[in-house]
Amino acid sequence: MEAFTIIYTLLGGLGIFFFGMKFMSDGLQAVAGDVIRKIINSITANRFMAVGVGLLVTCIIQSSSVTTVMTVGFVNAGLMNLTQAIGVIFGANIGTTITGWIISVKVDKYGLLLVGLGFIPGLFSKSEKWQHLGKSVLGIGLVFMGLQIMSGAFAPLRENQAFLDSIAYFSGQNYGAYIASIMMGCLLTMIVQSSSAMLGITMALATSGIIPYHTAVSLVLGENIGTTITAILASIGANVNAKRAARAHACFNLFGVFIMLTWLPYYFDFIDYLIPLDPRFTAPDGTVPHVGQHIALAHTFFNLSATLLFLPFINQLAKFVTKITPDKLEKEVPHLLVLGDPMNMLPAASMAQAESELKKMKEVIERMYKLNKEFWQAEEYDPKKLAKIIDYERITDNIHKEITVFLCYVMEKPMSHHQSEQLQAMIKIADELESVADYIERLATYRERFKGKDKIEGESRAEFFQFLDDVWEFFTLVGAGLDNGEALEMSKIESKSHELQLWADSMREKHLDRISKGTYLPVTALTYSDMVVALRKIRAHAYLMAGAIENFNAKHE
């Protein structure tokens, strides 16, 4: 019966620990959603910048697995190259060590107090920001409570000789025991799919006096290898570069552990030297109070030193994983939806991806407009240009569909009210961009009506091209808010939009007046009117897009 009690107490403590980690992570993500999105968008070819991004994002979301899966997804979508991805993965390995320091802080007896403090903002504060901060504090309290329950569940095992005998081999101070512990840590982490949970269990075992300090550190090294399985699983079905990013993560951790293994006994002594407290000191109640800090430092120093060691060779690592993962024969096209289920991604990361896709969509529309203008200005009708414009419109339809479906799935995830409003704004932006593309295509098809003798010349032609340029200047003014993320001058945009609307009405009236004087054939009146209407519609959708961009760029209060 004692074994059953230990098992259900351990599972209950682990469940509370998991729940606390999720609460803490969700709260921090909701508070720092805009920060995460901006951090991700700031990734450059600079390897140090990429490491910093991985470090900061992982510190916020408290999960290196989520960061690496997100990184694999970015590579798969073509939003990040392999070298950038490896840098982010390096940073994620450092960032995940913060979990060990949180766990090692001996405030587990204040877990209930933190739960109570975290619950207060949810009851009395109307500020969404304070509510999410309270949720994070509540999560930390639950993490400490879960650890305390797990430590209590392990305590009776100190007196169980059969259990101690079964793990005696792992407790030995020899390379056989170290390798066995590393393999066990790797295997258990692959099963649990959470290095943070395994780190919590390892620290609970060590502080309860069940396993010695050197065994705990060896387990943590194995957990570093085991956590790479999450990214590898996420890369199944993805493109070659995504597979390379996942394998780079595995190779980096494997190589790092292998190098560390060569001088592991000296590493234990080195960590002991850095922290004066004895990791083997046993308190009267049978616990080992100082071992947690030693494990946390050993974890941090290993990941930090491995990153510093491999960072100069990031290009060589990229070449190595490229060699072991050769290109497929068929050409691969990056897509957003082949990342897999967006339910496994952070809302902020999903928004960063969708934002990048929106910018791509706008770039396609810009190329579409330039080609359309060339098509109209050419003396001879060119069917190839029309076919290309129609092809561009088909591309925007596909991107629009991908973004909308993707964001609708993302909206099913828990998120802040501000993030929800931003997602709705992004869907609106995608809708308006797709409508602009539709009207550019429609405008191009009107050129077919002038293949014969009918032409628009003189003042009507000059006015049309001037209006075409002014409408596009208005679209560019609005689109700048999407490119730079800055607030739009809505008063200027409203004034310009109204001015263009009045000008469109005036153009149609002037053209009808010219037709009544016999300057043009009556048949051109209908076409010219349709051309002006198409441009006026582009103006209207650009104006509606401005409102959506303004909502998307709005600061989180």
Q: Are 204 and 293 in contact (CB under 8 A)?
A: no
Distance CA 529, CA 167 (A): 85
Residue type, 290: H
Residues 72/234, Cβ–Cβ less than 8 Å: yes
Query: Cα-atom radius of gyration of the chain, to the nearest Å?
Result: 30
Q: What residue ranges of the chain have pLDDT lower than 70?
A: 1, 31-34, 37, 40-46, 62, 77-79, 106-109, 163-164, 166, 168, 237-238, 328-344, 451-458, 511-512, 514-525, 555-557
Q: What is the C-alpha to C-alpha distance for residues 43 and 36, in angstroms, rounded to an integer?
A: 11
For residues 47, 225, 188, 115, the Cα torsion angle rounded to the nearest 10 degrees is -30
Taking CA atoms, 498 is separated from 313, 479, 540, 541, in Å, by 57, 18, 10, 13
Q: Give the amino acid at 74.
A: F
Contact assessment for residue 510 and residue 458, using Cβ atoms and an 8 Å cutoff? no
Residue 451 confidence (pLDDT): 64
Instruction: Judge whether 218 and 171 are in contact, CB under 8 Å.
Output: no
User: Residue holding tokens 């002014």?
Assistant: 470
310 near 254, Cβ under 8 Å? no
Tokens of 17: 């620990």
Delimit the domains of the chain by residue range: 2-324, 346-553
Helices marked H in 488-522 — which ranges?
Answer: 490-516
Fold of 346-553: Methane Monooxygenase Hydroxylase; Chain G, domain 1 (1.20.58)
HSE toward the beta carbon, residue 163, CA cutoff 13 A: 14
Condensed to tens digits (0 to 9), the pLDDT of residues 383-403 reads: 889 899 999 999 899 889 888
Mind listing the pLDDT tens digit for each residue in 462-507? 888 898 999 999 999 999 888 887 778 888 899 998 898 888 878 7
Q: Provide the whole-model pTM.
A: 0.72
